[in-house]
Structure 1
Protein backbone atom coordinates (compact mmCIF):
# COMPACT_ATOMS: atom_id res chain seq x y z
CA UNK A 1 0.00 0.00 0.00
CA UNK A 2 1.35 3.40 -0.99
CA UNK A 3 1.14 5.50 2.17
CA UNK A 4 2.75 8.78 1.10
CA UNK A 5 4.35 10.68 -1.76
CA UNK A 6 6.26 13.88 -2.50
CA UNK A 7 4.64 16.92 -4.09
CA UNK A 8 6.55 16.05 -7.29
CA UNK A 9 5.00 12.57 -7.53
CA UNK A 10 2.00 13.27 -9.76
CA UNK A 11 1.58 10.19 -11.95
CA UNK A 12 -0.72 8.38 -12.41
CA UNK A 13 -3.49 10.93 -11.70
CA UNK A 14 -5.01 8.63 -9.07
CA UNK A 15 -1.97 9.29 -6.89
CA UNK A 16 -3.43 12.68 -5.99
CA UNK A 17 -5.42 10.87 -3.28
CA UNK A 18 -2.19 9.83 -1.51
CA UNK A 19 -0.97 12.16 1.29
CA UNK A 20 2.00 14.42 0.52
CA UNK A 21 4.87 14.01 2.98
CA UNK A 22 7.28 16.61 1.59
CA UNK A 23 8.87 17.91 -1.58
CA UNK A 24 11.20 16.11 -3.98
CA UNK A 25 14.35 15.36 -2.01
CA UNK A 26 12.97 17.19 1.02
CA UNK A 27 10.74 14.81 3.01
CA UNK A 28 9.10 15.94 6.22
CA UNK A 29 10.29 13.67 9.03
CA UNK A 30 7.23 14.56 11.07
CA UNK A 31 4.90 13.57 8.23
CA UNK A 32 6.83 10.34 7.66
CA UNK A 33 6.49 9.34 11.30
CA UNK A 34 2.74 9.91 11.11
CA UNK A 35 2.19 7.50 8.21
CA UNK A 36 4.55 4.85 9.71
CA UNK A 37 5.92 3.49 6.40
CA UNK A 38 7.46 0.03 6.18
CA UNK A 39 10.00 1.33 3.68
CA UNK A 40 10.81 4.74 2.20
CA UNK A 41 11.98 4.94 -1.41
CA UNK A 42 14.23 7.90 -2.19
CA UNK A 43 15.89 9.14 -5.36
CA UNK A 44 17.92 12.19 -4.33
CA UNK A 45 17.94 13.89 -0.95
CA UNK A 46 18.63 17.63 -0.99
CA UNK A 47 20.17 17.32 2.48
CA UNK A 48 22.28 14.15 3.00
CA UNK A 49 21.83 14.44 6.77
CA UNK A 50 18.13 13.58 6.33
CA UNK A 51 19.16 9.98 5.66
CA UNK A 52 20.96 9.82 9.01
CA UNK A 53 17.97 11.35 10.75
CA UNK A 54 15.61 8.79 9.20
CA UNK A 55 17.87 5.96 10.37
CA UNK A 56 18.05 7.45 13.87
CA UNK A 57 14.24 7.56 13.96
CA UNK A 58 14.02 3.89 12.96
CA UNK A 59 12.74 4.63 9.46
CA UNK A 60 13.86 2.15 6.79
CA UNK A 61 14.80 3.88 3.54
CA UNK A 62 16.24 2.66 0.24
CA UNK A 63 17.81 4.90 -2.38
CA UNK A 64 16.71 4.05 -5.93
CA UNK A 65 19.30 5.21 -8.45
CA UNK A 66 18.27 5.68 -12.08
CA UNK A 67 21.05 7.40 -14.00
CA UNK A 68 20.92 5.25 -17.13
CA UNK A 69 18.19 3.51 -19.09
CA UNK A 70 19.44 0.12 -17.88
CA UNK A 71 18.93 1.26 -14.29
CA UNK A 72 15.15 1.39 -14.77
CA UNK A 73 14.46 -2.39 -14.87
CA UNK A 74 16.95 -2.89 -12.02
CA UNK A 75 15.04 -0.33 -9.95
CA UNK A 76 11.74 -2.07 -10.71
CA UNK A 77 13.17 -5.40 -9.54
CA UNK A 78 14.55 -3.85 -6.35
CA UNK A 79 11.23 -2.21 -5.52
CA UNK A 80 9.48 -5.52 -6.14
CA UNK A 81 11.77 -7.22 -3.63
CA UNK A 82 11.21 -4.48 -1.05
CA UNK A 83 7.41 -4.50 -1.20
CA UNK A 84 6.82 -8.22 -1.68
CA UNK A 85 5.81 -8.20 -5.35
CA UNK A 86 8.95 -9.78 -6.76
CA UNK A 87 7.38 -12.01 -9.49
CA UNK A 88 5.25 -9.17 -10.86
CA UNK A 89 8.16 -6.73 -10.72
CA UNK A 90 10.55 -9.14 -12.45
CA UNK A 91 8.05 -9.71 -15.24
CA UNK A 92 7.52 -5.99 -15.75
CA UNK A 93 11.27 -5.31 -15.60
CA UNK A 94 11.89 -7.89 -18.31
CA UNK A 95 9.26 -6.22 -20.50
CA UNK A 96 11.04 -2.87 -20.11
CA UNK A 97 14.42 -4.50 -20.87
CA UNK A 98 13.04 -6.03 -24.06
CA UNK A 99 11.62 -2.70 -25.20
CA UNK A 100 14.88 -0.87 -24.50
CA UNK A 101 16.81 -3.56 -26.40
CA UNK A 102 14.45 -3.31 -29.38
CA UNK A 103 14.86 0.48 -29.50
CA UNK A 104 18.65 0.14 -29.31
CA UNK A 105 18.68 -2.38 -32.14
CA UNK A 106 16.57 -0.06 -34.28
CA UNK A 107 18.97 2.77 -33.47
CA UNK A 108 22.00 0.78 -34.65
CA UNK A 109 20.63 0.93 -38.19
CA UNK A 110 20.76 4.74 -38.16
CA UNK A 111 23.52 6.05 -40.42
CA UNK A 112 23.17 9.82 -40.81
CA UNK A 113 22.41 11.17 -37.36
CA UNK A 114 21.21 14.79 -37.24
CA UNK A 115 22.89 17.04 -34.69
CA UNK A 116 20.52 17.69 -31.79
CA UNK A 117 20.62 20.52 -29.28
CA UNK A 118 18.56 19.83 -26.16
CA UNK A 119 17.79 22.93 -24.11
CA UNK A 120 16.63 22.09 -20.61
CA UNK A 121 16.50 25.68 -19.37
CA UNK A 122 16.70 29.12 -20.94
CA UNK A 123 17.94 31.47 -18.20
CA UNK A 124 20.76 30.59 -18.00
CA UNK A 125 20.87 28.39 -21.08
CA UNK A 126 21.46 24.78 -20.01
CA UNK A 127 21.91 21.57 -21.97
CA UNK A 128 22.84 17.93 -21.34
CA UNK A 129 26.25 16.32 -21.75
CA UNK A 130 27.85 13.00 -22.52
CA UNK A 131 26.62 10.06 -20.48
CA UNK A 132 23.49 11.84 -19.28
CA UNK A 133 20.12 10.13 -19.28
CA UNK A 134 18.75 12.60 -21.83
CA UNK A 135 21.75 12.24 -24.16
CA UNK A 136 21.25 8.47 -24.15
CA UNK A 137 17.61 8.99 -25.14
CA UNK A 138 18.58 11.32 -28.00
CA UNK A 139 21.06 8.76 -29.37
CA UNK A 140 18.62 5.84 -29.22
CA UNK A 141 16.01 8.05 -30.90
CA UNK A 142 18.38 8.53 -33.85
CA UNK A 143 20.11 11.82 -33.06
CA UNK A 144 23.55 12.98 -31.96
CA UNK A 145 23.66 15.28 -28.95
CA UNK A 146 25.95 18.26 -29.56
CA UNK A 147 26.61 18.41 -25.81
CA UNK A 148 28.39 15.05 -25.85
CA UNK A 149 31.75 16.79 -26.03
CA UNK A 150 31.27 17.70 -22.35
CA UNK A 151 31.34 14.91 -19.76
CA UNK A 152 28.66 16.35 -17.48
CA UNK A 153 25.01 15.47 -17.00
CA UNK A 154 23.98 19.11 -17.39
CA UNK A 155 25.93 22.30 -17.98
CA UNK A 156 25.51 25.96 -18.84
CA UNK A 157 26.31 27.04 -22.39
CA UNK A 158 27.00 30.29 -24.19
CA UNK A 159 24.66 31.16 -27.08
CA UNK A 160 27.72 31.49 -29.33
CA UNK A 161 28.63 27.87 -28.57
CA UNK A 162 25.25 26.68 -29.86
CA UNK A 163 25.72 28.86 -32.96
CA UNK A 164 29.12 27.28 -33.62
CA UNK A 165 27.65 23.76 -33.39
CA UNK A 166 24.85 24.64 -35.84
CA UNK A 167 22.45 21.84 -34.80
CA UNK A 168 19.91 20.38 -37.22
CA UNK A 169 17.24 20.00 -34.53
CA UNK A 170 16.43 21.82 -31.30
CA UNK A 171 14.38 20.29 -28.48
CA UNK A 172 13.20 22.48 -25.61
CA UNK A 173 12.41 20.52 -22.46
CA UNK A 174 10.91 23.22 -20.28
CA UNK A 175 7.93 25.53 -19.95
CA UNK A 176 8.67 29.25 -20.24
CA UNK A 177 6.56 32.19 -19.12
CA UNK A 178 7.95 34.01 -22.14
CA UNK A 179 5.96 31.79 -24.48
CA UNK A 180 6.62 29.01 -26.94
CA UNK A 181 10.28 28.26 -27.67
CA UNK A 182 9.35 28.13 -31.35
CA UNK A 183 8.71 31.86 -31.08
CA UNK A 184 11.39 32.93 -28.60
CA UNK A 185 14.44 30.98 -29.83
CA UNK A 186 14.47 32.52 -33.35
CA UNK A 187 14.60 35.95 -31.68
CA UNK A 188 18.00 35.27 -30.12
CA UNK A 189 20.78 37.24 -31.87
CA UNK A 190 22.29 35.20 -34.70
CA UNK A 191 20.21 32.11 -34.06
CA UNK A 192 18.24 32.67 -37.26
CA UNK A 193 21.31 31.25 -39.02
CA UNK A 194 21.19 27.94 -37.14
CA UNK A 195 19.96 25.14 -39.42
CA UNK A 196 17.38 23.99 -36.88
CA UNK A 197 15.88 27.48 -36.77
CA UNK A 198 15.93 28.22 -40.49
CA UNK A 199 14.40 24.80 -41.22
CA UNK A 200 11.72 25.09 -38.54
CA UNK A 201 13.06 22.12 -36.59
CA UNK A 202 12.32 23.48 -33.11
CA UNK A 203 10.27 21.12 -30.97
CA UNK A 204 8.66 22.12 -27.70
CA UNK A 205 5.38 21.54 -25.89
CA UNK A 206 6.41 17.94 -25.18
CA UNK A 207 5.52 16.07 -22.00
CA UNK A 208 8.92 16.58 -20.40
CA UNK A 209 8.16 14.03 -17.69
CA UNK A 210 8.46 11.27 -20.30
CA UNK A 211 12.16 11.97 -20.87
CA UNK A 212 13.38 13.84 -17.80
CA UNK A 213 12.02 11.41 -15.19
CA UNK A 214 13.70 7.98 -15.39
CA UNK A 215 10.92 5.40 -15.31
CA UNK A 216 8.85 3.02 -17.45
CA UNK A 217 7.21 5.91 -19.34
CA UNK A 218 10.56 6.78 -20.91
CA UNK A 219 9.90 4.12 -23.57
CA UNK A 220 7.01 6.24 -24.83
CA UNK A 221 9.20 9.33 -24.54
CA UNK A 222 11.92 7.82 -26.74
CA UNK A 223 9.36 6.95 -29.40
CA UNK A 224 8.04 10.52 -29.41
CA UNK A 225 11.57 11.98 -29.76
CA UNK A 226 12.27 9.45 -32.51
CA UNK A 227 9.17 10.51 -34.44
CA UNK A 228 10.08 14.19 -34.08
CA UNK A 229 13.58 13.51 -35.42
CA UNK A 230 12.14 11.56 -38.34
CA UNK A 231 9.71 14.36 -39.14
CA UNK A 232 12.41 17.05 -39.15
CA UNK A 233 13.24 18.80 -42.40
CA UNK A 234 16.99 18.35 -42.80
CA UNK A 235 19.16 20.39 -45.16
Structure 2
Protein backbone atom coordinates (compact mmCIF):
# COMPACT_ATOMS: atom_id res chain seq x y z
CA UNK A 1 0.00 0.00 0.00
CA UNK A 2 2.91 2.36 0.77
CA UNK A 3 4.42 1.69 -2.69
CA UNK A 4 1.02 2.31 -4.28
CA UNK A 5 0.66 5.53 -2.27
CA UNK A 6 4.08 6.73 -3.45
CA UNK A 7 3.23 5.94 -7.07
CA UNK A 8 0.01 7.93 -6.74
CA UNK A 9 1.88 10.89 -5.24
CA UNK A 10 4.50 10.81 -8.02
CA UNK A 11 1.74 10.59 -10.65
CA UNK A 12 -0.04 13.55 -9.06
CA UNK A 13 3.17 15.60 -9.09
CA UNK A 14 3.85 14.74 -12.74
CA UNK A 15 0.28 15.65 -13.65
CA UNK A 16 0.60 18.97 -11.80
CA UNK A 17 3.86 19.75 -13.64
CA UNK A 18 2.23 18.93 -16.96
CA UNK A 19 -0.66 21.27 -16.18
CA UNK A 20 1.68 24.08 -15.17
CA UNK A 21 3.76 23.86 -18.35
CA UNK A 22 2.01 25.79 -21.14
CA UNK A 23 1.01 23.66 -24.10
CA UNK A 24 3.09 23.91 -27.25
CA UNK A 25 1.98 26.79 -29.40
CA UNK A 26 2.95 24.90 -32.55
CA UNK A 27 2.11 21.51 -33.94
CA UNK A 28 4.27 19.44 -36.24
CA UNK A 29 4.91 20.87 -39.66
CA UNK A 30 4.34 19.07 -42.93
CA UNK A 31 6.61 19.34 -45.94
CA UNK A 32 5.10 21.05 -48.98
CA UNK A 33 5.88 21.77 -52.62
CA UNK A 34 5.69 25.51 -53.24
CA UNK A 35 4.74 27.21 -56.51
CA UNK A 36 8.39 27.33 -57.53
CA UNK A 37 8.46 23.54 -57.49
CA UNK A 38 10.72 23.51 -54.43
CA UNK A 39 10.28 21.07 -51.57
CA UNK A 40 10.01 23.07 -48.36
CA UNK A 41 10.32 21.12 -45.14
CA UNK A 42 11.15 22.51 -41.71
CA UNK A 43 12.42 20.56 -38.70
CA UNK A 44 10.07 22.51 -36.45
CA UNK A 45 7.40 25.15 -36.69
CA UNK A 46 8.92 28.54 -37.57
CA UNK A 47 9.07 31.12 -34.80
CA UNK A 48 10.41 33.92 -37.00
CA UNK A 49 8.69 34.56 -40.34
CA UNK A 50 9.33 37.23 -42.95
CA UNK A 51 6.69 38.21 -45.52
CA UNK A 52 7.77 39.64 -48.87
CA UNK A 53 4.33 40.75 -50.09
CA UNK A 54 1.15 42.41 -48.77
CA UNK A 55 -1.14 39.45 -49.57
CA UNK A 56 1.24 37.08 -47.76
CA UNK A 57 1.23 39.34 -44.70
CA UNK A 58 -2.58 39.34 -44.72
CA UNK A 59 -2.62 35.54 -44.92
CA UNK A 60 -0.21 35.15 -42.01
CA UNK A 61 -2.14 37.49 -39.72
CA UNK A 62 -5.53 36.03 -40.73
CA UNK A 63 -4.54 32.51 -39.67
CA UNK A 64 -3.06 33.54 -36.32
CA UNK A 65 0.62 33.73 -37.26
CA UNK A 66 0.96 37.49 -36.89
CA UNK A 67 2.91 37.24 -33.64
CA UNK A 68 5.61 35.27 -35.47
CA UNK A 69 6.07 37.79 -38.28
CA UNK A 70 9.34 39.69 -37.75
CA UNK A 71 9.64 41.43 -41.13
CA UNK A 72 7.35 42.84 -43.82
CA UNK A 73 7.68 45.08 -46.90
CA UNK A 74 6.89 48.77 -47.06
CA UNK A 75 3.70 47.99 -48.98
CA UNK A 76 2.28 45.68 -46.30
CA UNK A 77 -0.46 47.88 -44.82
CA UNK A 78 -3.07 45.44 -43.53
CA UNK A 79 -4.06 44.51 -40.89
CA UNK A 80 -3.29 47.46 -38.63
CA UNK A 81 -1.14 45.32 -36.33
CA UNK A 82 1.17 44.56 -39.24
CA UNK A 83 2.21 48.21 -39.33
CA UNK A 84 4.07 47.66 -36.06
CA UNK A 85 6.38 45.05 -37.63
CA UNK A 86 9.82 46.10 -38.90
CA UNK A 87 10.13 46.60 -42.66
CA UNK A 88 12.85 44.92 -44.72
CA UNK A 89 12.56 46.97 -47.90
CA UNK A 90 10.07 47.08 -50.77
CA UNK A 91 8.43 44.28 -52.73
CA UNK A 92 10.77 44.61 -55.69
CA UNK A 93 13.86 45.62 -53.71
CA UNK A 94 13.90 43.86 -50.37
CA UNK A 95 17.03 44.44 -48.31
CA UNK A 96 18.91 41.13 -48.16
CA UNK A 97 21.06 42.24 -45.23
CA UNK A 98 18.00 43.33 -43.25
CA UNK A 99 16.34 40.00 -43.93
CA UNK A 100 19.38 37.98 -42.85
CA UNK A 101 19.74 40.09 -39.69
CA UNK A 102 16.23 39.03 -38.62
CA UNK A 103 17.39 35.39 -38.55
CA UNK A 104 14.13 34.10 -40.05
CA UNK A 105 13.11 30.46 -39.86
CA UNK A 106 10.91 30.96 -42.92
CA UNK A 107 10.61 33.58 -45.67
CA UNK A 108 7.35 33.61 -47.63
CA UNK A 109 7.49 35.11 -51.12
CA UNK A 110 4.94 35.95 -53.80
CA UNK A 111 4.99 36.04 -57.59
CA UNK A 112 5.55 39.81 -57.59
CA UNK A 113 8.95 39.39 -55.92
CA UNK A 114 11.98 39.33 -58.25
CA UNK A 115 13.24 35.80 -58.86
CA UNK A 116 16.85 36.88 -58.37
CA UNK A 117 16.00 37.97 -54.81
CA UNK A 118 14.48 34.59 -54.00
CA UNK A 119 17.46 32.77 -55.52
CA UNK A 120 19.88 34.91 -53.50
CA UNK A 121 18.05 34.08 -50.28
CA UNK A 122 18.14 30.38 -51.14
CA UNK A 123 21.88 30.64 -51.82
CA UNK A 124 22.21 31.96 -48.26
CA UNK A 125 20.50 28.76 -47.00
CA UNK A 126 17.33 30.61 -46.07
CA UNK A 127 14.08 28.62 -46.01
CA UNK A 128 11.93 30.24 -48.72
CA UNK A 129 8.40 29.22 -49.71
CA UNK A 130 7.05 30.90 -52.85
CA UNK A 131 3.32 31.14 -53.60
CA UNK A 132 2.04 32.60 -56.88
CA UNK A 133 -1.78 32.51 -56.71
CA UNK A 134 -3.35 33.54 -60.03
CA UNK A 135 -6.88 32.59 -59.01
CA UNK A 136 -9.13 32.24 -55.99
CA UNK A 137 -8.57 28.48 -55.90
CA UNK A 138 -4.81 29.07 -56.05
CA UNK A 139 -5.19 31.31 -53.02
CA UNK A 140 -6.96 28.59 -51.05
CA UNK A 141 -4.18 26.17 -52.02
CA UNK A 142 -1.45 28.61 -51.00
CA UNK A 143 -3.07 29.23 -47.62
CA UNK A 144 -3.52 25.53 -46.93
CA UNK A 145 0.13 24.82 -47.75
CA UNK A 146 1.19 27.79 -45.63
CA UNK A 147 -0.73 26.23 -42.76
CA UNK A 148 1.02 22.90 -43.30
CA UNK A 149 4.57 24.23 -43.44
CA UNK A 150 4.07 26.48 -40.39
CA UNK A 151 2.35 23.82 -38.28
CA UNK A 152 -0.74 26.03 -38.08
CA UNK A 153 -3.03 23.57 -39.82
CA UNK A 154 -6.20 23.76 -37.72
CA UNK A 155 -6.64 27.53 -37.69
CA UNK A 156 -5.70 27.84 -41.37
CA UNK A 157 -8.22 25.17 -42.32
CA UNK A 158 -10.94 27.03 -40.41
CA UNK A 159 -10.17 30.30 -42.20
CA UNK A 160 -10.09 28.67 -45.64
CA UNK A 161 -13.31 26.76 -44.98
CA UNK A 162 -15.05 29.99 -43.96
CA UNK A 163 -13.79 31.72 -47.11
CA UNK A 164 -15.04 28.88 -49.29
CA UNK A 165 -18.41 28.91 -47.54
CA UNK A 166 -18.84 32.65 -48.12
CA UNK A 167 -17.70 32.31 -51.73
CA UNK A 168 -20.23 29.54 -52.38
CA UNK A 169 -22.99 31.68 -50.87
CA UNK A 170 -22.07 34.50 -53.29
CA UNK A 171 -21.98 32.11 -56.25
CA UNK A 172 -25.40 30.75 -55.27
CA UNK A 173 -26.82 34.28 -55.40
CA UNK A 174 -25.30 34.87 -58.83
CA UNK A 175 -26.56 31.51 -60.07
CA UNK A 176 -26.37 30.23 -63.63
CA UNK A 177 -27.07 33.02 -66.07
CA UNK A 178 -27.27 32.80 -69.83
CA UNK A 179 -25.84 36.29 -70.31
CA UNK A 180 -22.85 37.71 -68.47
CA UNK A 181 -22.46 41.50 -68.37
CA UNK A 182 -19.38 42.92 -70.12
CA UNK A 183 -17.02 44.40 -67.51
CA UNK A 184 -14.06 46.75 -67.93
CA UNK A 185 -11.61 47.00 -65.02
CA UNK A 186 -9.40 50.09 -64.97
CA UNK A 187 -5.92 49.56 -63.52
CA UNK A 188 -4.62 52.98 -64.62
CA UNK A 189 -6.32 55.83 -66.40
CA UNK A 190 -3.61 57.40 -68.57
CA UNK A 191 -2.58 55.51 -70.54
CA UNK A 192 -5.72 53.45 -70.02
CA UNK A 193 -4.56 50.10 -68.63
CA UNK A 194 -6.67 47.11 -67.72
CA UNK A 195 -6.56 43.58 -66.34
CA UNK A 196 -6.00 41.18 -69.20
CA UNK A 197 -6.86 37.49 -69.25
CA UNK A 198 -5.36 34.72 -67.14
CA UNK A 199 -4.66 36.72 -64.00
CA UNK A 200 -6.17 37.11 -60.54
CA UNK A 201 -8.48 40.05 -61.33
CA UNK A 202 -9.71 38.31 -64.48
CA UNK A 203 -10.57 35.25 -62.37
CA UNK A 204 -12.35 37.40 -59.80
CA UNK A 205 -14.49 39.11 -62.46
CA UNK A 206 -15.38 35.74 -63.96
CA UNK A 207 -16.35 34.29 -60.57
CA UNK A 208 -18.48 37.37 -59.89
CA UNK A 209 -20.46 36.59 -63.04
CA UNK A 210 -18.92 39.11 -65.42
CA UNK A 211 -17.13 38.92 -68.75
CA UNK A 212 -13.79 40.71 -68.60
CA UNK A 213 -13.40 42.60 -71.88
CA UNK A 214 -9.80 43.34 -70.93
CA UNK A 215 -9.01 39.75 -71.91
CA UNK A 216 -9.54 40.88 -75.52
CA UNK A 217 -6.26 42.80 -75.26
CA UNK A 218 -4.22 39.79 -74.12
CA UNK A 219 -2.84 38.63 -70.78
CA UNK A 220 -1.17 40.57 -68.01
CA UNK A 221 -1.85 44.30 -67.77
CA UNK A 222 -2.38 45.56 -71.34
CA UNK A 223 -3.05 49.11 -72.44
CA UNK A 224 -6.48 49.67 -73.89
CA UNK A 225 -7.25 52.25 -76.54
CA UNK A 226 -10.29 54.52 -76.23
CA UNK A 227 -11.56 53.34 -79.62
CA UNK A 228 -11.44 49.73 -78.46
CA UNK A 229 -13.23 50.67 -75.24
CA UNK A 230 -16.00 52.41 -77.16
CA UNK A 231 -16.25 49.54 -79.65
CA UNK A 232 -16.55 46.84 -76.96
CA UNK A 233 -18.81 49.13 -74.91
CA UNK A 234 -18.76 47.66 -71.38
CA UNK A 235 -21.99 47.47 -69.42
CA UNK A 236 -20.09 47.80 -66.15
CA UNK A 237 -17.02 50.01 -65.60
CA UNK A 238 -14.94 49.41 -62.48
CA UNK A 239 -12.02 51.49 -61.23
CA UNK A 240 -10.26 52.20 -57.95
CA UNK A 241 -9.37 55.42 -56.11
CA UNK A 242 -5.71 54.81 -56.99
CA UNK A 243 -5.88 54.34 -60.76
CA UNK A 244 -4.29 57.77 -61.33
CA UNK A 245 -1.81 60.16 -59.73
CA UNK A 246 -4.79 61.86 -58.11
CA UNK A 247 -7.71 60.08 -56.43
CA UNK A 248 -10.13 58.79 -59.03
CA UNK A 249 -13.85 59.25 -58.37
CA UNK A 250 -16.99 58.08 -60.08
CA UNK A 251 -17.80 61.68 -61.06
CA UNK A 252 -14.41 62.11 -62.73
CA UNK A 253 -14.95 58.98 -64.84
CA UNK A 254 -18.49 60.00 -65.81
CA UNK A 255 -17.17 63.35 -67.07
CA UNK A 256 -14.22 62.09 -69.08
CA UNK A 257 -14.09 63.09 -72.73
CA UNK A 258 -15.92 60.65 -75.02
CA UNK A 259 -17.06 58.44 -72.12
CA UNK A 260 -20.66 59.58 -72.43
CA UNK A 261 -21.23 57.10 -75.30
CA UNK A 262 -20.43 54.12 -73.06
CA UNK A 263 -23.37 52.03 -71.89
CA UNK A 264 -21.85 51.83 -68.39
CA UNK A 265 -21.85 55.62 -68.17
CA UNK A 266 -25.30 56.09 -69.68
CA UNK A 267 -26.82 53.54 -67.29
CA UNK A 268 -24.89 54.83 -64.25
CA UNK A 269 -22.98 51.60 -63.77
CA UNK A 270 -19.59 53.01 -62.92
CA UNK A 271 -18.19 51.72 -59.64
CA UNK A 272 -15.18 52.55 -57.46
CA UNK A 273 -13.88 49.54 -55.52
CA UNK A 274 -11.00 49.16 -53.04
CA UNK A 275 -8.26 47.72 -55.25
CA UNK A 276 -6.70 45.73 -52.39
CA UNK A 277 -9.86 43.64 -52.07
CA UNK A 278 -9.80 42.73 -55.75
CA UNK A 279 -6.12 42.54 -56.63
CA UNK A 280 -4.61 40.86 -53.55
CA UNK A 281 -4.90 37.06 -53.32
CA UNK A 282 -5.60 37.20 -49.59
CA UNK A 283 -8.42 36.33 -47.14
CA UNK A 284 -10.08 39.67 -47.99
CA UNK A 285 -10.70 38.53 -51.56
CA UNK A 286 -14.19 37.40 -50.50
CA UNK A 287 -15.07 41.01 -49.72
CA UNK A 288 -13.72 41.90 -53.15
CA UNK A 289 -15.86 39.21 -54.74
CA UNK A 290 -18.89 40.65 -52.96
CA UNK A 291 -18.11 44.13 -54.24
CA UNK A 292 -17.69 42.89 -57.82
CA UNK A 293 -20.85 40.77 -57.71
CA UNK A 294 -22.85 43.71 -56.37
CA UNK A 295 -21.54 45.98 -59.12
CA UNK A 296 -22.30 43.44 -61.84
CA UNK A 297 -25.69 42.35 -60.43
CA UNK A 298 -27.13 45.23 -58.37
CA UNK A 299 -30.35 43.27 -57.84
CA UNK A 300 -28.55 40.95 -55.39
CA UNK A 301 -26.76 43.73 -53.49
CA UNK A 302 -29.04 43.61 -50.46
CA UNK A 303 -28.66 39.84 -50.07
CA UNK A 304 -24.89 40.12 -50.48
CA UNK A 305 -24.69 42.32 -47.40
CA UNK A 306 -25.58 39.32 -45.21
CA UNK A 307 -22.63 37.26 -46.46
TM-score, length basis structure 2: 0.69
Whichever of the two has the greater Rg, that structure is 2
CA RMSD of aligned residues (A): 2.0
Contact 1:107–1:139, Cα closer than 8 Å, also in 2 = no
Q: Distance in 2 between matches of 1:106 and 1:85?
A: 32
Aligned partner of 1:152 among 219, 224, 247: 219
Query: Where does residue 189 of structure 2 map in the other structure?
Result: 122
Q: Distance in 2 between matches of 1:44 and 1:136?
A: 16
Structure 1 consecutive aligned stretches of length 4 or more whose deviation exceeds 4 Å: none
Name the SS for the 1:129 alignment partner.
coil
Structure 1 residue 105 displacement after superposition: 4.0
Structure 1 residue 174 displacement after superposition: 4.4
Q: Does 1:195 align with 2:246?
A: no
Aligned partner of 1:92 among 132, 143, 159: 159
Query: Where does residue 6 of structure 1 map in the other structure?
Result: 73
Query: Where does residue 111 of structure 2 map in the other structure?
Result: 44
Contact 2:271–2:295, Cα closer than 8 Å, also in 1 = yes
Name the SS for the 2:125 alignment partner.
coil
Contact 2:240–2:248, Cα closer than 8 Å, also in 1 = no
Query: Where does residue 66 of structure 1 map in the other structure?
Result: 133
Of residues 141-150 and 63-72 in structure 1, the stretch that sits farther from structure 2 once superposed is 141-150
Contact 1:40–1:60, Cα closer than 8 Å, also in 2 = yes
Query: Where does residue 170 of structure 1 map in the other structure?
Result: 237
Q: Does 1:28 align with 2:95?
A: yes
Q: Distance in 1 between matches of 2:188 and 2:265?
A: 18
Query: Where does residue 278 of structure 2 map in the other structure?
Result: 211
- Residue 107 and residue 211 in structure 1: after superposition, are their counterparts in 2 closer, same or farther (change >3 A)? same
The CA deviation string for residues 137-186 of structure 1, in whole angstroms up to 9 with x for no partner, is 22222322212334403211111100001111110134234453423334
Q: Distance in 1 between matches of 2:155 and 2:162?
A: 11
Matched positions, count: 231
TM-score, length basis structure 1: 0.89
Q: Does 1:180 align with 2:248?
A: yes
The CA deviation string for residues 111-135 of structure 1, in whole angstroms up to 9 with x for no partner, is 3322111111112111112232212
Structure 1 residue 45 displacement after superposition: 5.2
